[in-house]
Amino acid sequence: MVLRLVFCGLFAVCCSGVYSEDISSLGPPGSILVFGDEFNEAALDTDMWGFGINEKNVQNIGVDCAYTKENISFRNGLLVFTQRRESPPITGKTWTSEKTFNYSSGGIHTRGEFALKNNMYLELRCKLPSNNGGYGAFWTMSNKVGDWKPEDLLEIDMFEFIGNREKTRFWSGLWWHDFRKSEVPKAVDVKNLKKRSEDHFFVNEQRFKAHFGEGIKVDHSHIDFYSFITFGLHVTDDAMKWYLVQNGPAWKSEPYLVFQGGTVHNRTYGQVPDVQWERYVPANMNARIILNYALRNAEWAGGPAEDSQMPSEMLVDYVRVYDTHVFGTNK
């Protein structure tokens, strides 16, 4: 069931005319469910969701799979991403070229007004992958709408997950890829710098991007990552809070990571000069929501892949987005 709600007095009403009382009551007190997907239908709602991590279905460099429609299915009220070996290899696009991929998998992103904005709480319930090289991610990328500024264009990593059972890792954070001219580090190689305008530059060198989250040590020992988990993110005008529980609602737990603005740094690992910037929650947050099950053979991502573990799956129970501004539920 796809949930698209409109405001009618003090109630949220589904476009089908059915009041979604049970689901609405699961959000933070006083919040209103504004959109989401319970994945109870036999097909993906293409008004809400696009295939891949962006409209062009272009893969990031470093990802060893292409996202295809065939790897998206539904079973018992669950969205199923399947990862498989392709023989013969298939063709896909990266940001720099077309290439062949030996593996394929599934990914989706929200379209148009189905976006994360200020004073919203976003919750996801899923079962993460467990294959070597399997890499589950739940994240956002900013849309260029309204009165946006370069520093407002950020990537929110709700979470990234390495699915190798011997190298399990779950982490969260923020990345800023766009900078004012005066903010670009002098040490950035010019080939990794893209000029968007006179005062807007995109930095394509990971070591020189602004980052928040590294160094946060979280005790997730109470979580079984190979069973269903419930994740939540609350964005207000001045803070972001990350939540994680085995069984929801996630917002009832204490946040394990909080961003309230201030000084952020590049992630250097001692390889390049330390740089710092001032960053805050964007005043006009608007971001597409992305879910993908990637394959990454890099050693840090739990590879190499093992074909004997495929086909493998990542399961999603629901995605729900609540407005917490309506009744002041933006704590």
How far apart (Å, rounded) are the C-alpha atoms in residues 164 and 288?
28
Query: Which residue type is seen at 269?
Result: Y
Report DSSP state, residue 19.
B
Residue 304, in any domain of the structure: yes
Q: Of all residues in the chain, what percent carry a pLDDT higher than 70?
A: 92
C-alpha distance across the termini of the chain, in Å: 29
CA–CA distance from 111 to each of 48, 125, 293 (Å)? 5, 20, 19
Name the domain count of the chain: 1
Beta bridge partners of 279: 262
Least confident of 5-19, 122-136, 226-240, 311-325: 5-19
pLDDT category of residue 331 using cuts at 50, 70 and 90: low
Q: Give me 241's structure tokens.
A: 């809070």
Beta bridge partners of 104: 66, 84
pLDDT tens-place string over residues 189-229:
999 999 999 999 999 999 999 999 966 567 788 999 999 99
pLDDT category of residue 10 using cuts at 50, 70 and 90: very low
Residue 163, in any domain of the structure: yes
Q: Give me 128's structure tokens.
A: 């993460």
Q: Is the pLDDT of residue 323 over 60?
A: yes
Residue where the block lists tokens 């893969």: 59
Range of the domain at 68: 42-321
CA–CA distance from 226 to each of 235, 283, 291 (Å)? 27, 37, 17
Residues 244, 62, 291, 228, CA torsion sign: negative
Q: Is the pLDDT of residue 160 over 80?
A: yes
Residue 252, in any domain of the structure: yes
Residue 28, in any domain of the structure: no
pTM to 2 decimal places: 0.92
How far apart (Å, rounded) are the C-alpha atoms in residues 52 and 292?
7
What pLDDT score does 55 carry?
A: 95
Residue closest to 282 by CA, chosen among 186, 190, 160, 152: 152
What pLDDT score does 4 carry?
A: 66
Residue 29, in any domain of the structure: no
> For residue 261, what is the domain's CATH number?
2.60.120.200
Residue 168, in any domain of the structure: yes
Chain-centroid distance, C-alpha 7? 27
How far apart (Å, rounded) are the C-alpha atoms in residues 264 and 217?
17
What pLDDT score does 221 carry?
A: 87
Least confident of 233-242, 249-258, 296-305: 296-305
pLDDT tens-place string over residues 15-69:
333 334 588 889 999 999 999 999 999 999 999 999 999 999 998 888 999 999 9
| 300: CB partners within 8 A, 6+ apart | 162
Backbone dihedral angles phi then psi of residue 206, each to the nearest 5 degrees: -55, -35
- The continuous run of DSSP H or E covering 230 comes out as strand 229-235
Residue closest to 108 by CA, chosen among 61, 143, 67, 76: 67
Q: Are 321 and 136 in contact (CB under 8 A)?
A: no
